[in-house]
Amino acid sequence: MGSKIRIGVLSDTHGLLRPEALEAMRGSRLILHAGDVGSPAVLEGLGAMAPVRAVRGNVDGGEWAEGLPLTDAVEVEGVLIYLIHDIGDLDLDPAAAGVGVIVSGHSHRPSAEVRRGVLHLNPGSAGPRRFSLPVSAAVLTVEGGRVSHRLVVLKE
């Protein structure tokens, strides 16, 4: 059986790396950021904790953001995780492509739903509060080719 791997997941930091977000990422072997990073300092702060994979969101501009891909895929213990900022831009059939988890952001609304055997995870926004939505992140745990998730409210 494979080892248990904790993956921190966040999105929509918009340049704000909250101490609560860093605490939620503690112990992660990998951190995924689903876009609207807002500043290279966010990636540097997260990168001091664990390797980071991030995609570009619609507010990510400038030279630093040009190096961020629009989508990314990473395989962890046999589970393919696909990262995209806006789920509305998804141009593949995740189940047919063998994807186990789709991680997206953009809406600032935390959600997790299994569709056709694929976990669709939106960690919500870990940055500035938007409307009355919670400030949140998520944790994925991959073990033995299986994945579980937990949404983490950082601030009500």
Query: pLDDT by residue (tens digit) across 47-94?
Result: 999 999 999 999 999 999 999 999 999 999 999 999 999 999 999 999
Domain that includes residue 63, residue range: 5-155
Domain containing 16 — which CATH number?
Answer: 3.60.21.10
pLDDT score of 1 more than 70:
no
pLDDT score of 44 more than 90:
yes
Residue 2: the pLDDT is 59
What average pLDDT is seen over the chain? 95
User: What total number of domains does the chain contain?
Assistant: 1
pLDDT score of 27 more than 60:
yes
Asked if 124 contacts 13 with a C-beta cutoff of 8 angstroms, the reply is no
Q: What is the mean pLDDT of residues 12-38?
A: 97
Residues 6+ apart with CB under 8 A from 62: none
pLDDT score of 11 more than 70:
yes
Residue 69: the pLDDT is 98
Q: What is the pTM of this model?
A: 0.96
Buried b (16+ CB within 10 A) or exposed e, 44-55: ebbeeebebbbb
Rg (C-alpha) for the chain, rounded Å, is: 14
